Structure 1
């Protein structure tokens, strides 16, 4: 059984951040679950252009408000607490936090190791 609190991971290599985002990787590849789970905050006003070419991602919004724009279709979806969105086609997208910090619980498949930050194209590499 794995039991961990996000505060235990703050300031460790599993506490990753970049411009406009901070993510605590609570379950990672090394835990052997086949997916990773992250507590992620997008700073109010931040706009992130992302494309997880090597991963599928599902996000559950816990707090804040924002929007996700599908760059393939041009459609923008509002995001608020209680909403879930999944990038099931490795969708290139723009994520914006529009009212308060956007607090998300994120699941990645394949799992991240825990210390990754975004590549220039907004993706993560798959690492052993």
Structure 2
């Protein structure tokens, strides 16, 4: 315990002895906070999406049109095969795949809700987390 108190005392003496060290300790972190706060943004505006529509109903088209109307999502294309959609995901041509199952429209009318699948490319963890949220 005496060793730690000795080191702390020595460091305080060193800080106040060297006058150029005081601004570096207090002002430099504040300047970094003010400058770097504007460089980091977590807003995603162009998320490439591929749609696998296995239902081809009016309700599934309406769901896709909601995504197309959003400023955050860009529908790259439609496909009926999961292999082709996975290929687009692995080649980084799409960030997410929206899979609409068969019977989507019927389940939506009958039960009032239904399930869809969203496959997210997790290579960029920040993008994947924000897309999934």
Q: TM-score, normalised by structure 1?
A: 0.24
Quick check: which has more Rg, 1 or 2?
2
Q: TM-score, normalised by structure 2?
A: 0.23
Higher strand share: 1
Higher relative contact order (CA 8 A, sep 6+): 1
Higher helix share: 2
